[in-house]
A and B are shown apart, each in its own frame.
Chain A
């Protein structure tokens, strides 16, 4: 049962986008939190954070377009109706937060009247210069960051419980074939012979 379900994977482009986003968002969050807590490394971390944030914005927009073009595979039978509703809402929340977070970061630089310098790029401001607006956006940037931490923690916990406790192959839907072939070949001499 596990094996037949595990072969139903997300489109390869969706998997690439997923892991790319996962690595970049984790990096942006950790660098962002460290930035808010550092003195000597503040300038370097800020530069890194803005570059990673800009990359995430571009990648997540491309990912949303890709998501509309490739429908995800059917759920395993272990995902009940109410859980589906939770997952659908949290998926949308995650996409919305991932698009909003870099935009809020970009806008708050404009509100502070600071030039938007992303590595070698200088981008236009997307918000009017206004200190009160800056305070709202800056605090919003933190709220969204903590929201992302919570949503990601829930997302990974859910996948781990499905994969390890219910053994429904949930994680395999998002992993790449290469490793599974090796595993399959090592574990199943028949597969190896057939090739």
Chain B
């Protein structure tokens, strides 16, 4: 008894007993388990193995296209453009966004090819991308990332992911495994249908005379607070051009675009196609009927082209969720997912040093 008393531990004068110590340890252990458990569940990896996340996409892009530090994880190959948007004021009936008032807004743009390889050889059939940032970097900014295909290949995040994996080039052919793609298409009829729709719109001769489509639906909200579902697109004001034979070198599409801009500004009509209640705003794989009302809201002009470098379109994340007051996202689940994956790509590449872009404007002969 006396021996035990002498050994009674204490802390700053307060006696310690076994019950108190165990209670304290249990409470701390319980708190840490809940606290850190919540963090690990929210951030992953706990419980994340079955969910797709931005990291899953980063990993998949690396697996399929290789590691290319400093470049976009998708649409890695590109060239920077600048120009302006001349609004004719027609858009104001649909949206209160400042960009639709009559007048001029500056535009930053970027032509690109999909995939994570920044030196992928140009091919006529490869989808072409055009990213635009209206009024960058102002408060009323509007960003959009468009393709030259009327509809998007996927209507779900899982579909996009599975298609990405199925498109992995096979080592000996350099092309995707036909069996894997066939298997994917049989599991995803919406993609097969979208590809059939896009096949009816063969590509034009180059970047400069392509149409571009915003793909996902959005809502335009006007001054009266009325909300209208729309899809936007750019209709080229240049002639479609004779079908061209593939040019010299791996950058012939980009080289032609550089020559086109040098010889005169590229122009497009910006069109708002108004959806009807039966048009599903959540599914970008389905084309809206051609009889839908179309509002021509002005002209997009790109009159200057430059190699990607710090401070130009290279440093813009064409996040489709960067919208001004007067344009709102639709319920399309791909919009949020695109925003998340673009953000993950931008975060990573902005902290890395990139090799010079494969497309060098000065290297193209006049």
Which residues of A approach B to under 8 Å, CB–CB? 29-31, 33-34, 36-44, 46, 77-80, 83, 112-116, 122, 124-125, 129-132, 134-136, 138-139, 149, 152-153, 156-157, 160-161, 164-168
Instruction: Bits for B332-366, please: 1 = Cβ < 8 Å to A, else 0.
Output: 01011101110100110011000000000000000
B343: chain A residues at CB < 8 Å are 42
CB contact between B38 and one of A30, A114, A138 (< 8 Å): that residue: A30
Q: Which 9 A-B pairs have the closest CB atoms?
A: A165-B24, A135-B351, A113-B137, A42-B340, A33-B43, A33-B42, A131-B315, A39-B337, A34-B42
How many residues belonging to B are interface residues under a CB distance threshold of 8 Å?
Answer: 59
Contact between A113 and B315, CB atoms less than 8 A apart: yes
Pairwise interchain contact A113-B316, C-beta atoms closer than 8 A: yes
CB distance from A129 to the nearest CB of B (A): 5
From the candidates A134, A138, A157, name the one contacting B32 in the complex (CB within 8 A). Answer: A157
- Do A113 and B136 form a contact, CB below 8 Å, given A78-B12, A157-B32? yes
> Known contacts being A42-B337, A115-B140, is A164 close to B321, with CB within 8 Å?
no
Given pairs A43-B340, A156-B31, 20 additional interface contacts (CB within 8 A): A37-B54, A39-B54, A39-B157, A39-B337, A42-B337, A43-B339, A44-B336, A78-B12, A78-B13, A113-B133, A115-B324, A131-B314, A134-B346, A153-B31, A156-B28, A157-B28, A157-B31, A165-B23, A165-B25, A166-B16
A-B contact pairs, 10 of them (CB 8 A): A30-B42, A34-B43, A78-B14, A114-B137, A153-B35, A161-B24, A164-B20, A165-B24, A165-B25, A167-B20
Q: How far is the CA of A168 from the CA of B140 in the complex (A)?
A: 56
Instruction: Report the bound CA distance from A115 to B317 in whole Å.
Output: 13
Cα of A106 to Cα of B149 in the assembled complex, Å: 36
Give chain A nearest CB distance to B214 CB in angstroms: 17
Q: Tell whether B139 is near chain A: CB-to-CB under 8 Å.
A: yes
Considering the chains assembled together, what is the distance between the CA atoms of A135 and B350 in angstroms? 5
Nearest A residue to B321 by beta-carbon distance? A43
B171 at interface, CB cutoff 8 A: no
Q: Which of B94-145 contact A (CB under 8 A)?
A: 133, 136-141
A132 touches B350 (CB 8 A): yes
**Least distance between B135 CB and chain A CB atoms (Å):** 9
> How far, in whole Å, are A157 and B346 apart by their CA atoms in the complex?
37
Report the nearest B residue to A165, measured CB to CB: B24
B31 to chain A, nearest CB (A): 6
Which residues of the other chain, B, contact A164 by a CB distance below 8 angstroms? Answer: 20, 23-24, 27
B315 and A39 form a contact (CB under 8 A): no
B67-102 contacts to A, CB under 8 A, are none
Partner of B53, one of A37, A152, A156: A37
Docked complex Cα distance between A116 and B337 (Å): 20
Residues from chain A with Cβ under 8 Å of B139 in the complex: 115-116, 122, 124
Q: Are B138 and A115 in contact (CB under 8 A)?
A: yes
Chain A residue contacts of B341, Cβ below 8 A? 39
CA distance A138 to B347 in the complex (A): 7
